[in-house]
A and B are shown apart, each in its own frame.
With several copies, the nearest count.
Chain A
Amino acid sequence: MSDDFRARARAWLAANAPRRAAGDDEAEAESRGQAAVIAEQKAFQAKLHAAGFAGITWPKEYGGQGLTSAEQIIWSQESAGYDLPTGVFFIGLSMPGNTLVELGTDAQKRRYLPKMLSGEEIWCQLFSEPGAGSDVASLQTTAVRDGDEWVLNGQKVWTSGAQYSDFGAILARTDPTKPKHNGISMFIVDMHAPGVTVRPLKVATGHSPFNEVFFDNVRLPAGALIGEENKGWDAAVVMLRHERIAIGTMGSSRTSPLAFSTLRDLAAGLGRTADQGVRRELAELYARSRAVQLFALLLREETQAGRLPGARGSVAKLAGSDLGRFAGNVAADVLGDQLAAFDTAELAAVSTAIVAAPGSAIAGGTSEIQRNIIGERVLGLAKDPGVDRATPFNQLRVGTQREQ
């Protein structure tokens, strides 16, 4: 059965999927136009689904393949050498999708899951807020009951794909008199509903890979609640677990401009590799990069052997962010003043990657949060002395507000 699946997967990929290459999704979208990229990805996802390789572990009645994690692992192994054009579905399938499989009602699953898998509908995830940051549970977006429905107001930020998404999974506060974790609910929101405004968010690199999303009296219908009312934090924990797994097993599809081989070639081209210090820095970059790859490999081997990585996934994320910062410093040292100004695409890519590097130590949980997770859940250290877990949310100071 498994061998058969592997053979099928291998054959289909060879016939249908493009191989990995260097490059940058952002740049590709800018040069080809986003609409074209999305149309192509929708078509590919439909083909993937039709061939039986989408939703491998999801139930058949919701459009999945009804197979086991063994087939999922085989698929990951076989597809590792390809660059599947399914990026716009990544968030929806791995986060809201998996969460709906776990917590959704039968009606929700029948309505939404098949169209996710077939590429007809794209989803996003709406957790972060300007005032919440690392303290996700202090979110201020509200959903107020109005009969069977809810009325949604507030602002989300750092939303990837909001500009082309059809639906989103959103956290909103439904009871501000309860302590912060206990008054939150999760909903499905139609991103085309009246009152939803999506604005691109420009970041330090000058690109806009994220959005801000504003909700102004957006009505959520009766069936929009995911899980139970005021139990949204539990649903969020489920979704964040799926997020960690997704990010941990994602791998990178392109060669980074801050990779050892890229910087070595650039340094050699500038005649800088005769410098003993440059040689040592490049060697150290190789060692550190290699260790990050090897640790990810070790975690995958452990997972396949039945030992789940748990919070050690945070070690991988932290190590990746630290490596980005280190690589940026190496780039500055080995390229010297040639990095201060340039007119080649190679140096521009290095420069953009250095400017983007701090983003990875912030997005998806800051390095500070990762260190807390590692300290508490891997090493068993005591939690931070917290004073806000029992305080009613409406008596809590949040973000940069002087008073609530």
Chain B
Amino acid sequence: MTLILTDEEVALADSVRKFVADRSPLTSLRQIIASGEPFDAGVWKQMTAQLGLAGLTIPESYGGAGAGYSALSVALTELGAGLVASPLLGCLLAAEAVLRLGDDTAKQELLPKIAAGELIVTLAVASSAGGQVTASGAGDGTVLTGTVSPVLNGAEADVLLVPADGTDGKAIYLVQGGADGLARTRLTAVDHSRSLARITLAGTPARALAGDAAAALAAAADLANLALAAESAGAMKACLDMTSGYARIRVAFGQPIGAFQAVKHRLADMEKSFELGYAALRDAARAADEKPGDFPVAASVARVLLASAYAEAAVDTVQLHGGIGFTWEHDAHLYYKNGLSNKVLLGGPGEQLDRLADALGI
């Protein structure tokens, strides 16, 4: 197990980076903001059909590439650097849950279409403050009642996988996007690149999926940590590059501002935090593929470090650009808001540290 990228991973990173630069530069995020659309459907089609990003971790037998988690983290790092708006994260978590549940019908029904980009599926999970759902009835009469918020792409998803407490304990239920009694309210997201919604279920018909729900949700949470760590690493590197670049050319008091230790040392600390977080990310990505037993701790470590480091780096990016960095036209605020969102999504720093402490047996 090595931390450095393989040649294939370097090639994948290059092709995703090129795709982002060509098809989804930051100007297109501004178009998405202006249009009010959750993401660019054409870009999503290419990300899935052409680059196969939604199927990287789905086995070939279900139409995916079976390329593994390290490849996925490499792709997500590049997507994160470009703040690419898409329903990828929701789809990844849903696919992971389905894979771990092992419900054959659901696998056949959902995985090939997720991989192909034909179906947007999301996993309706949030922190405990985000509501809860209970199940009642049985068989075809099963219905769900409750609220979950915020849910990744909850307003656009064709299918939602909703964890709920029933009489037999927790299970994951499949709910169609157009089901009766399902209300989906798109919320104002801090991060312009995420579409998030509150979903409210009132006697909504649902189908229970077979399998160990707790294990599936834990696996999805680990993958969320890896994915958010990867996206944050890419975005943090973009902040570091943008700010270092500015510090090299912006002059004040007769010096490039990077000559001043207030700027130089802040950037050096940013570089340090990035390098440490990136090393932890690589370790988590490799563990996911090669040492699954180490994955929960490694993914937690990567997420905890990178979520904080990126959020700090993004504030510093605004600060070190000075006034221009605080304008709407500058990209700094796009990263700042993304950093804030990445830090709290699916559980903030405290909850992440609790999870890590549990995993470490403290």
- Docked pose: A333 CA to B318 CA in angstroms: 21
Asked if B167 CB lies within 8 Å of chain A CBs, one says: no
Known: A204-B336, A291-B277, A305-B4. A374 touches B356 (CB 8 A): no
A202 touches B280 (CB 8 A): no
B258 touches A358 (CB 8 A): no
Binary interface encoding of chain A residues 109-126 relative to chain B, with 1 for a CB under 8 A from any of its CBs, else 0? 000000000000000000
A287 touches B356 (CB 8 A): yes
- Docked pose: A292 CA to B275 CA in angstroms: 9
Using a CB-CB cutoff of 8 Å, which residues 237-286 of chain A contact chain B?
264, 268, 270-273, 275-280, 282-284, 286
- Docked pose: A366 CA to B300 CA in angstroms: 31
Q: B340: shortest Cβ distance to chain A, in Å? A: 6
Interface of A is mostly: helix
- Docked pose: A339 CA to B194 CA in angstroms: 13
Asked if A50 CB lies within 8 Å of chain B CBs, one says: no
Known: A204-B328, A294-B282. A340 touches B191 (CB 8 A): yes
Q: Note all chain B residues with C-beta closer than 8 A to A157.
A: 323
- Docked pose: A397 CA to B257 CA in angstroms: 12
- Docked pose: A283 CA to B353 CA in angstroms: 6
Out of A264, A298, A339, name the residue touching B3 (CB < 8 Å): A298
Interface segment, one of B77-85, B96-104, B264-272: B264-272
A302 touches B259 (CB 8 A): no
Out of B4, B260, B346, name the residue touching A301 (CB < 8 Å): B4
Asked if B349 CB lies within 8 Å of chain A CBs, one says: yes
- Docked pose: A354 CA to B256 CA in angstroms: 29
Known: A283-B356, A294-B280. A382 touches B258 (CB 8 A): yes
Out of B271, B347, B354, name the residue touching A279 (CB < 8 Å): B354
B267 touches A337 (CB 8 A): no
Q: Note all chain A residues with C-beta closer than 8 A to B149.
A: 338, 341
Interface segment, one of A8-16, A162-170, A184-192, A386-394: A386-394
Using a CB-CB cutoff of 8 Å, which residues 187-241 of chain A contact chain B?
201-204, 206
The chain B residue sitting closest to A321, CB to CB, is B319
Asked if A101 CB lies within 8 Å of chain B CBs, one says: no
Out of B255, B322, B343, B351, name the residue touching A382 (CB < 8 Å): B255
Known: A295-B276, A315-B272. A202 touches B327 (CB 8 A): yes
- Docked pose: A237 CA to B77 CA in angstroms: 37
B250 touches A399 (CB 8 A): yes
Interface segment, one of B18-26, B112-120, B182-190, B208-216: B182-190
Asked if B11 CB lies within 8 Å of chain A CBs, one says: no
Known: A291-B279, A294-B283, A381-B263. A337 touches B127 (CB 8 A): yes
Q: B343: shortest Cβ distance to chain A, in Å? A: 6
Asked if A40 CB lies within 8 Å of chain B CBs, one says: no
The chain B residue sitting closest to A290, CB to CB, is B301
Q: Note all chain B residues with C-beta closer than 8 A to A133.
A: 252, 322-323
- Docked pose: A298 CA to B279 CA in angstroms: 7
B347 touches A280 (CB 8 A): no
Using a CB-CB cutoff of 8 Å, which residues 215-266 of chain B contact chain A?
240, 244, 246-256, 258-265
Q: Note all chain B residues with C-beta closer than 8 A to A343.
A: 185, 187-188, 198
Q: A343: shortest Cβ distance to chain B, in Å? A: 5
- Docked pose: A133 CA to B325 CA in angstroms: 11
Q: A263: shortest Cβ distance to chain B, in Å? A: 10
Q: A357: shortest Cβ distance to chain B, in Å? A: 8
Known: A292-B276, A388-B253, A397-B251. A379 touches B348 (CB 8 A): no
Asked if A69 CB lies within 8 Å of chain B CBs, one says: no
Q: Note all chain A residues with C-beta closer than 8 A to B279.
A: 291, 294-295, 297-298
Asked if B137 CB lies within 8 Å of chain A CBs, one says: no
Interface size on A, residues (CB 8 A): 96
- Docked pose: A201 CA to B354 CA in angstroms: 43
The chain A residue sitting closest to B356, CB to CB, is A283
Q: Note all chain B residues with C-beta closer than 8 A to A98.
A: none
Q: Note all chain B residues with C-beta closer than 8 A to A376.
A: 264
- Docked pose: A318 CA to B266 CA in angstroms: 13
Known: A286-B360, A384-B260. A336 touches B268 (CB 8 A): no
B275 touches A315 (CB 8 A): yes
A204 touches B3 (CB 8 A): no
A333 touches B347 (CB 8 A): no
A270 touches B129 (CB 8 A): yes
Asked if A174 CB lies within 8 Å of chain B CBs, one says: no
Using a CB-CB cutoff of 8 Å, which residues 306-352 of chain A contact chain B?
312, 315, 318-319, 322, 325, 329, 332-333, 335-343, 348, 351
- Docked pose: A291 CA to B74 CA in angstroms: 18
| Chain A CB within 10 A, most for which of B190, B311, B324 | B190
The chain A residue sitting closest to B309, CB to CB, is A291
B349 touches A400 (CB 8 A): no
Q: Note all chain A residues with C-beta closer than 8 A to B301.
A: 286-287, 290-291
- Docked pose: A387 CA to B129 CA in angstroms: 56
Out of A201, A366, A378, A397, name the residue touching B254 (CB < 8 Å): A397
Asked if B141 CB lies within 8 Å of chain A CBs, one says: no
Q: B259: shortest Cβ distance to chain A, in Å? A: 4
Asked if A155 CB lies within 8 Å of chain B CBs, one says: no
- Docked pose: A343 CA to B205 CA in angstroms: 26
Asked if B32 CB lies within 8 Å of chain A CBs, one says: no
Known: A291-B277, A362-B319. A271 touches B129 (CB 8 A): yes
Known: A337-B345, A381-B256. A400 touches B251 (CB 8 A): yes
Using a CB-CB cutoff of 8 Å, which residues 107-146 of chain B contact chain A?
126-130
Q: Note all chain B residues with C-beta closer than 8 A to A355.
A: 190, 333, 336-337
Extra inter-chain contacts (19) besides given A297-B3, A339-B190, A341-B194, CB under 8 Å: A202-B328, A280-B357, A286-B301, A292-B276, A294-B283, A295-B275, A295-B276, A336-B348, A337-B346, A339-B340, A354-B190, A355-B333, A362-B325, A363-B323, A371-B265, A371-B268, A374-B272, A382-B255, A388-B255
- Chosen A-B contacts, 24 in total, with CB atoms closer than 8 Å, are A204-B336, A271-B128, A273-B362, A276-B354, A277-B350, A280-B357, A294-B280, A295-B275, A305-B4, A335-B344, A336-B351, A337-B348, A338-B129, A340-B189, A340-B191, A340-B341, A343-B188, A343-B198, A354-B190, A358-B315, A368-B265, A375-B258, A375-B264, A378-B271
Q: Which residues of A contact B (CB under 8 A)?
A: 128, 130, 133-135, 138, 157-158, 201-204, 206, 264, 268, 270-273, 275-280, 282-284, 286-288, 290-292, 294-295, 297-298, 301-302, 305, 312, 315, 318-319, 322, 325, 329, 332-333, 335-343, 348, 351, 354-355, 358-359, 361-363, 366-368, 370-372, 374-376, 378-388, 391, 396-402
